[in-house]
Structure 1
């Protein structure tokens, strides 16, 4: 057990994200997302498969992923020598519930080619509907289960989900078909790139969980990561979005105790991992595209600043890697 204080049972991540889901649908033309409905009434939001999608759609979907408990913004960097011109910034005052109880992509959803009538399907579901289904052991540790008549799920995949998967989500969540909304964001799409980079704080929370630090220690969490340029396919996009966090991600956590602050500053950064220093796409390929073979310590922000409420001290660990990001993102300095 890594959570000594229960999450607030009165907060429904699906209820809090509902106005954002409505906004995504109502502003579909402006946000360049496609809206379709299944025969049973389930709403599918296409944010990059056939529809163009947009960065604004990606930020709205990121907020939906966080169960309405996070702030997501885009900013320009005006430093003399910026790491990158555009960053995604994230903040939450309910970090454990927003990031692990909602945003974390932990629900495995798959179907065989026989079930789909075509080719097999696989996606990791993220967002507030996870807390309705509670199919992951993580929810037992968090001691949280949501109850709401509507739900929203996000799938980071390059095709729309088949009906067999939609039916599974409906059944596991205990929803009427017309009360479910699924947003699809391929990694290579603009919206997909944004919503993955907006996981910079979530990655820090997950690493904290992996380290075995009591999650109740974390009181506030903020983070930022560079928004990489678009990539021509999902594999390259996966490399770029992961590199953005592993080598350009920065988090600031506020925790209760000095001991937790010291430990997280030292152990949280990605530089603790065996394969640190290599582009993620190269690491992924070396393990035959199997996520579970990669050192779990790698999935973390590059830099951590951790402040202690107990002492008022702030501890710092890790570093950003300008050179690796610029090389991977093909930055060329033009001179007149």
Structure 2
């Protein structure tokens, strides 16, 4: 496995340094552990906010994407959306942003996303991407409302092959504004992940963009997970630009929307409860944006499939 693309760890380093430097203005907490690791609290003991979530989303994208806020008239009561663009959607989204690192230590559990995954690179996906990072610093974003134990911090640094003083962990509770933004900011990533599950060749995905409404934060983890998922499943929209035959672009468009799933049509919280809160019992095909457009670069023809679900957004967001 060789690195044929830029280092996501190196590209993201200035973004991480800026986040830490601006922590007070962004209402973030910063802790240095006795071994030198940096812990950024984005919503546990501090308030955090939308701008913190936007910047954390760009960190999750490995410095290879932009996250911006934009007005959104599709859902009148929730009129702020986050837009995602990248310079390399496959590496930015699947090689960095995807929450593919499962971490546990005692009663602590969290999913890790961000550029440190490409240093660890033990997910099968990295073999398919043909990518492994070699950065001297590691940054991982954890969906959690708890500080990870020191033993897990040491484990992460070791797995990434960096000293602990070169490790930054950013903690983003789903119930926080920053946490809500960074999860919904995966609107493009979930589409790429589903394209991969549909066996569309990742090397033929040239570019992409996505947008999804920012939900109000919820009072508890389960409700927060429901709202952030629904924002993508029923309010997300993406565009992909792909190489290859036109008919295969059309086939991809028809297969991508969340509406192709057997579980589509109810708020995610209800779906999750119906499976006794077993995430892996849910139909994996559900996790995709509501509306997709795939453009065949060979002919310039675009194919659109799916539909928004304003009533489900309103039910989920507290309408």
> TM exceeds 0.5?
yes
Query: Residue 29 and residue 138 in structure 1: after superposition, are their counterparts in 2 closer, same or farther (change >3 A)?
Result: same
Partner of 1:117: none
- The 5 Å alignment of 1:144-293 reads 144-257=131-244, 258-293=246-281
Query: Residue 299 and residue 10 in structure 1: after superposition, are their counterparts in 2 closer, same or farther (change >3 A)?
Result: closer
Cα deviation, residue 78, structure 1: 4.7
* DSSP 3-state at the match of 2:46: coil
* DSSP 3-state at the match of 1:21: helix
Distance (whole Å) between structure 1 residues aligned to residue 318 and residue 280 of structure 2: 28
CA contact (8 A) 1:33 1:46 kept: yes
Whether 1:22 aligns to 2:17 is: yes
Distance (whole Å) between structure 2 residues aligned to residue 266 and residue 297 of structure 1: 12
- The 5 Å alignment of 1:114-125 reads 120-125=107-112
Moved over 3 A (4+): 81-84
Cα deviation, residue 151, structure 1: 1.0
Cα deviation, residue 16, structure 1: 0.3
Partner of 1:43: 38
Distance (whole Å) between structure 1 residues aligned to residue 73 and residue 288 of structure 2: 25
* DSSP 3-state at the match of 1:51: coil
Q: TM-score, normalised by structure 1?
A: 0.92
Whether 1:60 aligns to 2:47 is: no
Query: Residue 7 and residue 187 in structure 1: after superposition, are their counterparts in 2 closer, same or farther (change >3 A)?
Result: farther
Q: For 1:230-283, what per-residue CA distance to the aligned partner results, in whole angstroms no more than 9, with x for missing partners?
A: 211111000000000000000011111213311121000000001100110011
Partner of 2:84: 90
Cα deviation, residue 82, structure 1: 4.2
Distance (whole Å) between structure 2 residues aligned to residue 294 and residue 325 of structure 1: 19
Cα deviation, residue 93, structure 1: 2.3
Query: Residue 262 and residue 83 in structure 1: after superposition, are their counterparts in 2 closer, same or farther (change >3 A)?
Result: farther
* DSSP 3-state at the match of 1:88: strand
* DSSP 3-state at the match of 1:30: coil
User: How many equivalent residue pairs?
Assistant: 318
Cα deviation, residue 84, structure 1: 3.3
Q: For 1:158-197, what per-residue CA distance to the aligned partner results, in whole angstroms no more than 9, with x for missing partners?
A: 1111111111101100101100000000001010000001
Query: Which structure 1 residue ranges, 5 or more long, are not aligned?
Result: 1-5, 113-119, 332-336
Cα deviation, residue 157, structure 1: 0.8
* DSSP 3-state at the match of 1:97: helix
Query: Which structure 2 residue ranges, 5 or more long, are not aligned?
Result: none
